[in-house]
Each structure stands twice: as structure tokens, then as C-alpha cells.
Amino acid sequence: MAALLVAAGLGNGAWRLWLKSGDLLRPVVVLRGMDAAALAQPSLGARLAALGAAPVAATARPKLIALTFDDGPYPVTTPLLLQTLRDLRVPATFFLIGRDAEQFPDLARAIAAGGHEIADHTLTHPNLDQLGAAAVAKELRDGAAVLDAIVPDPAERTLFSPPHGRYTAATLRVAQAAGYDTVLWSDDPGDWRA
């Protein structure tokens, strides 16, 4: 089934991305002010109501894509990826695992030096849908602390992506309470199988 990203405007110049899959439209970014429960298991009508807007025609907005990478950094693939992004002059957001960033801090710094955003992908990469709220909050807090120690961010880190794409409404609420916009992914390239 083909997936299509549709961008629709939010207030104050921010953007919201939706994944079009068949007849269902679901957000791939869950902002801090959204109803987490309605977004985790809603009907199409409830999702659109929670988002506050209907999809707009592609001609009404610029064509945008958010390029994100989850996991890592890793010593073989990360330098190759950074070189490709540099050659193409393409910025990206890297959702780093705290423990991996601790193991390869120079790679985490190289990502930031390349002009890319570094965001939270938890400390240990657990299945958050299997954890209670306190454990999820600790994973987010500890992951952010490690990233901040390695690559201090002059701006506040506000993006989080749940490991394995696994989350619940409770996970989203914990992330919102921690000040995060939760970024979900629209394509799994299966590179983890290699």
C-alpha cells in the first residue's frame, strides 16, 4: 500500500504531517497540546477534529518533507549518511539513543556539527508500550540528559520519537508533559533486518 505524506498548516508557521494510508489519515507528529488518547486509537472523524483542520490541497502549501533517522549513532553507517546528506545539502533530524550516543560521542557531535538536529529516542530504546508512565518519563529524561551532556543544544530539545514506533496514549501524554512533540515515522525501510 503506497503511503503519501500530506502537509497541512498549523498556527504560527508550524507544520503538521499526516500519513495517508488507504482511507485512513493519521498524524505523524503529535504536538504537546493534542489529545493523546484520541490520536492513539481514534476514528477518522475524531482524528481530524483533534487536529483542528481538514487536509488542504497540495497546491495551497509548499511541498515539505521531514527527513528523520532513528537509532544510533553507529560507526559504520552514520559517517556515510552524514557524507551523503552533506553532498546533497539536506538537513535531517537524528533521533539518537542515549546509550549509543555515550558509546560514540564523536559521532553525535559530528551530526550536530553537520547542521542536523539531534532529538530524543530514549536512553535504552525499550518498548515504551510495555512500560508504565514513570518508567517512560525516566527514559525520556535520562536520554535527554545524556544528549545534552554530549551535544549541548542552544535551543530546547522538543522532539521525541518512540523506539520501534511503539507507543500508547499514556506514552504520548508522558511525552507531552515532558514538553515533547512526538514524531512518528511513516516508512520503515527495514534496515534493522540487515
Give the pLDDT confidence score for residue 63 in this predicted structure: 72
Q: What is the reported pLDDT for 190?
A: 73
Enumerate residues 6+ apart whose C-beta is below 8 A from 15: 7, 8, 9, 64
Dig out the grid coordinates for 67 from the structure: 527527513
In the chain, residues under CATH classification 3.20.20.370 are 68-188
Average pLDDT over residues 164-191: 87
- The answer, yes or no, to whether residue 160 has pLDDT greater than 70, is yes
pLDDT band for 15, please (50, 70, 90 cuts).
very low
Q: Identify the DSSP state of 18.
A: E
pLDDT exceeds cutoff 60 at 16: no
Q: Where are the beta strands (DSSP E) in 38-189?
A: 68-70, 93-96, 117-120, 159-160, 181-183
**Taking the alpha carbons of 68, 16, 174, 185 in that order, is the dihedral positive or negative?**
negative
Chosen CATH of 68-188 out of 3.30.1600.10, 1.10.3720.10, 3.20.20.370, 1.10.357.10:
3.20.20.370
55-96: per-residue pLDDT in tens?
Answer: 444 556 677 788 899 999 999 999 999 999 999 999 999 999
pLDDT at 128 over 80: yes
Q: Could you tell me which residues come within 8 angstroms of residue 123 by beta carbon, excluding any fewer than 6 positions away?
A: 97, 98, 99, 138, 139, 142, 143, 146
The Cα 40–Cα 43 span in angstroms is 10
pLDDT given for residue 10 in this prediction:
31
In this predicted structure, the answer to whether residue 98 has a pLDDT above a threshold of 60 is yes
Span 19-64, pLDDT tens digits: 333 334 445 677 777 776 666 655 545 555 555 545 444 556 677 7
How high is the pLDDT of residue 3?
Answer: 28
**pLDDT at residue number 28:** 65
